[in-house]
């Protein structure tokens, strides 16, 4: 569980808003389940998969199905409230929008950590990328072995 400031998320063109407000502004019917699913993801400092989100909401939503979690996450992604993060060959992971950041991905435990890299954010795309078309967004993914896994000898796996 992170600090209270993560209870609000930044949605493009919407500013920092709470879960209820996001769904309401996008004209999405506020169901208790949807709210709890979005709130759970907002409170998650990591990048959980749909299955992990399901496990986390289950104590609060005993009747929720994994399918509902999948469909809610899909919908939140479509309205731009959350992002899907694809790493390695793993299942999709999700995070609420936090503005530009990059990812440190552990190849051993598949943990994902956010990190800022303002120097990179200021760079213009190099000529091949500029020639390719119009760049809308991007982020860097650095892969390696995290501290915890290094301590456990995870780099030898």
Total number of residues that touch Zn ion (CB under 5 A)? 8
Interacting stretch for Zn ion, rule CB under 5 A, among 7-15, 48-56, 72-80, 104-112?
104-112
- Confirm or reject binding of residue 109 to Zn ion (CB under 5 A): yes
Query: Among residue numbers 138 through 157, which ones bind Zn ion (CB under 5 A)?
Result: 146, 149
Q: How far lies 1's CA from each of 35, 43, 74, 156, in Å?
A: 17, 6, 23, 31
Least distance in angstroms from the C-beta of 108 to Zn ion: 4
Interacting stretch for Zn ion, rule CB under 5 A, among 61-69, 73-81, 92-100, 129-137?
92-100
CB 38 within 8 A of CB 76: yes
- Confirm or reject binding of residue 95 to Zn ion (CB under 5 A): yes
Which residue, 80, 68, 74, is CA-closest to 36? 68
* Phi and psi at residue 137, to the nearest 5°: -165, 175
Among 6, 14, 114, 121, binds Zn ion (CB under 5 A): 114
For residue 83, what are its two tokens? 């992002």
Q: How is residue 107 annotated by DSSP?
A: T
The residue length of the chain stands at: 157
Give residues in contact with Zn ion (CB under 5 A). 95, 106, 108-109, 111, 114, 146, 149
């Amino acid at each position: 569980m992170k600090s209270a400031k993560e209870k609000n998320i930044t949605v493009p063109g919407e500013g920092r808003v709470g879960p209820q407000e996001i769904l309401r502004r996008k004209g999405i019917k506020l169901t208790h389940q949807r709210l709890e699913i979005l709130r759970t993801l907002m409170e998650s400092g990591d990048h959980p998969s749909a299955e992990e989100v399901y496990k986390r909401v289950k104590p609060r939503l005993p009747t929720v199905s994994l399918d509902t979690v999948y469909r809610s996450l899909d919908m939140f992604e479509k309205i731009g409230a959350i992002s899907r993060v694809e790493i390695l060959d793993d299942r999709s992971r999700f995070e609420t929008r936090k503005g530009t950041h990059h990812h440190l991905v552990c190849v051993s435990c598949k943990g994902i950590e956010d990190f800022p890299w303002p120097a990179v954010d200021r760079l213009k795309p190099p000529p091949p990328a500029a020639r390719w078309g119009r760049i809308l967004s991007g982020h860097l993914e650095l892969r390696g072995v995290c501290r915890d896994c290094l301590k456990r000898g995870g780099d030898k796996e």
